[in-house]
Amino acid sequence: MMDFSEIFVGGQWRAGGGGQADSINPADGSLVARHGVASVADVAEAVEAGQRAVADPEWRTMLPHVRARLLHRIGDAIEAQAEHIAALQTADTGKTLTETRALALSAAGTFRYTAAALETLDDALTTPRGPYLTMSVHEPIGIVGAITPWNSPIASDAQKVAPALAAGNAVLLKPAEWTSLVSLKFARIVEEAGLPRGLLSVLPGPGATVGDAIVRHPGVGKISFTGGTVTGKRIAAIAGGKLMPVSLELGGKSPTIVLPDADIDHAIAGILFGIFSSTGQSCIAGSRLFVHRSIYPDFMARLVAATQALRVGRGTDGSTQVGPLVAFAHRDKVAAHVEAAKAAGATLLCGGQAPQGEGYDKGAFYLPTILADVDHGAAICQEEVFGPVLVAIAFDDEEHLIAQANNSVYGLACGIWTRDFAKAYALARRIAAGTVWINTYKQFSISTPFGGVRESGLGREKGREGIRAYMQQKSLYWGLNDQPLPWATPKTAL
Ligand code: NAD
């Protein structure tokens, strides 16, 4: 097992000023590793090292195609170690190996895509309105704080670090408290791939101290945050005081809609994947299901049977579809949401408890759960559970559906199941969401922008424009006059 006792501050491995913390395997409660924790002083040192690194002419003047080569090397190194990263992430988060392998490979793909995109980013000659030439160019911001959640660590790290480095910045990465191991491993990979010292620091620690210090530090020029809406708003308020740009990828309570003409087999498979993969711990989980009343009883009977057939178990078991939740405390929070919904009158169609029997007793497991017969204003329809809990609602007509689907503070994603593409298009355009999947769900491409509306976020990540989000634009005017500017020139009498 790798040694995680040291953290990565400005290119140096050393003990963090915040002591040590334990990473616990949620499949059985065992200790995965102790790891170092950063302090506020470590943050300050990481910023100083980052400032030196971005000012170094080697990095400052490095041409995009050379920086791209470095990003390719990081991508290759992640892929070469994908199995190790996946095993580590499964131990740390409980996610299945199938999921963590896919996340590691997607992180490698993110670095490669970003490298390719970087080589094609153009500055522009803009249209002049006088005897001058105008250019619009883009420059790095300087120091970027990347703050990530625990649900998909290596993929969220890559999604922020790759474009921030591509844009020429230094990055302070703060992983979530429950999942710091993968980010420390990521730092080793990046270092070995040859990133100049000081351009990446990995600072595990509590959000309230280490995360807050990164956000508040005057030397940090941008925060890219993925996490809960409450935290995101707090960060945005501090950023407002500094007039600092922020990208916020926040929570969701995404609707999935089944119209009467849908292909039912496809819809059921998509809904199961949308809510129960990653044990529901996904910002884009399709957690509110709307089914047309004419097909509701039969559809729900099939969905419940398919849900009960899902295999719950350890992430290391190849046949597992639903692993444990990330932590015991989080499992208890998910269970409390379900109990509160039942107390408020919801009908439990399946799940609603931890699985019983050997292999389950020591882990943070919870059965895939479906609730029904709730008013759409109920807490279970409005609050993000971030666990394997689906709430089902019948709808009568399109207006009724849209009113309910859009009755949420969130606006992250939406799924629509129908064979009628014109209807799907019209619906997709009326739902408040950053991403709409039609006859599919939870598919992701690094080339397609991602983000939310309303309280699901601010700004977009991914896509070619994703690199621009870590740059600042500058305009250059080049005078072409063959005479001095006329204002200062004495006028000759007429
Ligand atoms: P969280 O907001 O509690 O923590 C996210 C990160 O922010 C962690 O690294 C945490 O340490 C840090 N943090 C906490 N308080 C902070 C503060 N005051 N200042 C600076 N940093 C602070 O969220 P979580 O529980 O780790 O993650 C789950 C949430 O993330 C869910 O709401 C989920 O929907 C959301 N999420 C969103 C996306 C997306 O792309 N939209 C993706 C994954 C998760």
Q: Is 66 in the pocket of ligand 1 (CB under 6 A)?
A: no
How far is the centre of ligand 1, averaged over its atoms, from the C-alpha of 357 (Å)?
Answer: 33
Mutation pick for ligand 1 pocket among 37, 150, 151, 281 (CB with most ligand atoms within 8 Å) = 151
Tokens of 489: 């020139």
Q: Which of 45, 99, 191, 249 is catalytic?
A: 249
| Whole-number pLDDT of residue 2 | 79
Q: Are 262 and 440 in contact (CB under 8 A)?
A: no
Q: Is 324 in the pocket of ligand 1 (CB under 6 A)?
A: no
Tokens of 269: 């498979």
3-state secondary structure of 290: strand
What is the CA angle 13-16-20, rounded to 5? 120
| Whole-number pLDDT of residue 62 | 98
DSSP-derived secondary structure for 132-199: EEEEEEEEE-SEEEEE--SSSHHHHHHHHHHHHHHTT-EEEEE--GGG-HHHHHHHHHHHHTTPPTTS
Residue 317 DSSP symbol? S
Q: Specify the ligand 1 atom closest to the Cα of 177.
A: 11
CA distance 174 to 339: 34
> Which of 65, 280, 42 minimizes the C-alpha distance to 166?
65
Domain boundaries, the chain: 6-250+452-477, 255-438
How far is the centre of ligand 1, averaged over its atoms, from the C-alpha of 251 (Å)?
Answer: 9
Kindly report the protein residue whose alpha carbon is nearest to atom 11 of ligand 1. Answer: 207
- At position 425, the amino acid (one-letter code) is Y
How far is the centre of ligand 1, averaged over its atoms, from the C-alpha of 345 (Å)?
Answer: 31
Name the packing angle between helices 153-166 and 64-80 (round to 10°): 160
> Which of 150, 184, 172 minimizes the C-alpha distance to 224?
172
339 is catalytic: no
Walk along the chain (494 residues) and give the pLDDT tens digit of each residue: 679 999 999 999 999 999 999 999 999 999 999 999 999 999 999 999 999 999 999 999 999 999 999 999 999 999 999 999 999 999 999 999 999 999 999 999 999 999 999 999 999 999 999 999 999 999 999 999 999 999 999 999 999 999 999 999 999 999 999 999 999 999 999 999 999 999 999 999 999 999 999 999 999 999 999 999 999 999 999 999 999 999 999 999 999 999 999 999 999 999 999 999 999 999 999 999 999 999 999 999 999 999 999 999 999 999 999 999 999 999 999 999 999 999 999 999 999 999 999 989 999 999 999 999 999 999 999 999 999 999 999 999 999 999 999 999 999 999 999 999 999 999 999 999 999 999 999 999 999 999 999 999 999 999 999 999 999 999 999 999 999 999 998 776 55
Q: Which fold has domain 255-438?
A: Aldehyde Dehydrogenase; Chain A, domain 2 (3.40.309)
How far is the centre of ligand 1, averaged over its atoms, from the C-alpha of 436 (Å)?
Answer: 23
How far is the centre of ligand 1, averaged over its atoms, from the C-alpha of 338 (Å)?
Answer: 22
How far is the centre of ligand 1, averaged over its atoms, from the C-alpha of 158 (Å)?
Answer: 16
CA distance 84 to 71: 20
* Residue 8 CB coordination number (10 Å): 26
Q: Is 103 in the pocket of ligand 1 (CB under 6 A)?
A: no
* Residue 332 CB coordination number (10 Å): 13
Q: Specify the ligand 1 atom closest to the Cα of 461.
A: 40
Kindly report the protein residue whose alpha carbon is nearest to atom 16 of ligand 1. Answer: 207
| Whole-number pLDDT of residue 394 | 97
DSSP-derived secondary structure for 221-256: -EEEEES-HHHHHHHHHHHHHHT--EEEE-----EE
Q: Is 252 in the pocket of ligand 1 (CB under 6 A)?
A: yes
Kindly report the protein residue whose alpha carbon is nearest to atom 31 of ligand 1. Answer: 228
Half-sphere exposure of 476 (CA within 13 A, CB side): 10
Q: Which fold has domain 6-250+452-477?
A: Aldehyde Dehydrogenase; Chain A, domain 1 (3.40.605)
Q: Which of 45, 99, 191, 283 is catalytic?
A: 283
Q: Is 235 in the pocket of ligand 1 (CB under 6 A)?
A: yes
283 is catalytic: yes
CA distance 191 to 175: 17
How far is the centre of ligand 1, averaged over its atoms, from the C-alpha of 224 (Å)?
Answer: 11
Q: Are 365 and 324 in contact (CB under 8 A)?
A: yes
Host H or E run for residue 396: none
CA distance 411 to 252: 6
DSSP-derived secondary structure for 4-62: -SEEEETTEEEE-TT-EEEEE-TTT--EEEEEE---HHHHHHHHHHHHHHHHSHHHHT-
Distance (Å) of CA 2 to CA 7, 14, 88, 103, 149 = 13, 15, 10, 20, 22
CA distance 422 to 436: 14
Q: Is 100 in the pocket of ligand 1 (CB under 6 A)?
A: no
Q: Is 227 in the pocket of ligand 1 (CB under 6 A)?
A: yes
CA distance 259 to 120: 42
Q: Are 134 and 476 in contact (CB under 8 A)?
A: yes
Residue 307 DSSP symbol? H
Q: Are 303 and 266 in contact (CB under 8 A)?
A: no
Backbone angles phi, psi at 275, to 5 degrees: -105, -35
Q: Is 410 in the pocket of ligand 1 (CB under 6 A)?
A: no
| Whole-number pLDDT of residue 1 | 66
